[in-house]
Structure formats: structure tokens, C-alpha cells
Amino acid sequence: MPTLILVRHGRSTANTAGVLAGRTPGVHLDERGAEQAAALPARLAALAPVLAVSSPLERCRETLEPLLAARPGLALHIEDRVSECDYGDWSGRKLAELADEPLMSVVQQHPSAAAFPGGESMRAMQARAVDAVRDWNARVEAEHGEDATYVMCSHGDIIKALVADALGMHLDLFQRVHADPCSVTAIRYTRLRPFLLRLGDTGDLTPLAPHKRPAGADAAASPAGDSTADATVGGGAGAP
């Protein structure tokens, strides 16, 4: 099955303002985020992705714009199921203010029981994202073959939830995972299990380039090879 290159959107104006953007419209990349996005084509150059999938939110589509410009034949598909978590009434509020909400301790310690007022539960968020990836895996394999690589640009909590699923971790452990803005997380899916190849990588991705296997080789047998106690809801702003 294909290799999924998960890209978290570049740093946004909400990240630097300490605001939980959620699905609030009009949140764009800041100057640093635009620089991160501009570096993405060179980082992915060796991987030859066959298509790109994006959350519908502006900051994700802006992150992929330089990659699409560098690869004119690369098709972009918008996928609602990998949009940001619907934080409901929490959307647009300061993270420092939300830290005092009683629900925050549930989000941190027992996220499978967390449901945002006026929004969705974290279980529902993970389920829709996992379903989307499974569907795209099947489509990419059918259209491009089992060794294909594709890019999906999404959000911190979505990526963390997908990593938890790939590792067979309960959602209650997903706050132990972290993905910086414009970091790359790579998951190779096979018939029997996924393999996490990179997590929150911000450096050279050349080793992830597809390698030809000997005839008859089994893809599943040889995969390619903070200072605070709480996780930042939404993913945080990353390093300065």
C-alpha cells in the first residue's frame, strides 16, 4: 500500500498569537510559515508524490501552494475529513485562557472522553481522519500502485490522531505525540500493519524516496527504513 507523507501546515497567525484557531476562517500563514512552505518542494523533491490532499482550511492550502507550483502536474484534492478538529465554542479563544477550563484536563489526560461544547468529540475527529486515510490509500494504490507516495496537509491534532492509529495506541495516549508546523510525518501502510517512518521531521527527507524491491519481495517484511507537561491543543507554534 502507499506511503503517506503527512505535512502539518506552516506556522500561522493564530499559532503566534496563542489562539486556538480551529475552523475559524481567515487564518493564514505568517511570514515564518510562508518560508516553511517555500522550503517544502526541495524537502519532498526525492519523493515524487503522485497527488496531494489538503484540509479545506486556508493555512493548509497555502502550505501546499509552493509544492503545486514546483510540480505543475500534481493534482490537489480537498478532503473535509482531514480538516481541523471542530473545537466549537473554544475556537478563536486564547490558549492561556482555555488552560483554566475544566475540560482541558480531560483533553490532556483522557481525550477519548473529550467533546468540545458546540463542536465534536476527539473520538469523532480521529475516526473521520482514519477513514479518510484508508480511503485515500485504496484510491492511490488502485490508480498509482502499491509503491506510490502521496502528500496530505492537515493539522496538529489530526496528525497526532493518525499516528496513534498507526502505532496501535489508544487515543488517550495521543497527547504524547508532537508535530511542529510544516513538519513531515511519514507512514507506510501495508496489508498487515502500518509502519511509522518519520515523526515530526523538519529536515532531509531523501531517505524516504521509494526503493525498488526485488521481485517477489514482501512489502510488509521490510519497511523503509517542552518545557510544559501539557500538550498544546491544536499543535502549537513550533520553534522560533
Q: Which amino acid is at 42?
A: A
For 3-202, CATH gives 3.40.50.1240
Using DSSP's 3-state secondary structure scheme, residue 3 falls into: strand
Contact 153, 52 (CB under 8 A): yes
pTM: 0.85
Is residue 74 within 8 A of residue 40, CB to CB? The reply is no
pLDDT over threshold 70, residue 151:
yes
Residue 225 pLDDT greater than 90, yes or no = no
CA distances from 113 to 78, 120, 156, 182 (A): 29, 11, 19, 29
pLDDT digits over 41-81, tens only? 999 999 999 999 999 999 999 999 999 999 999 999 999 99
CA distance to 18, 35, 70, 164, per residue, from 159 (Å):
20, 21, 25, 9
Q: What is the pLDDT of residues 106-122, one digit of tens each?
A: 999 999 999 999 999 99
pLDDT band of 1, cuts 50, 70, 90? confident
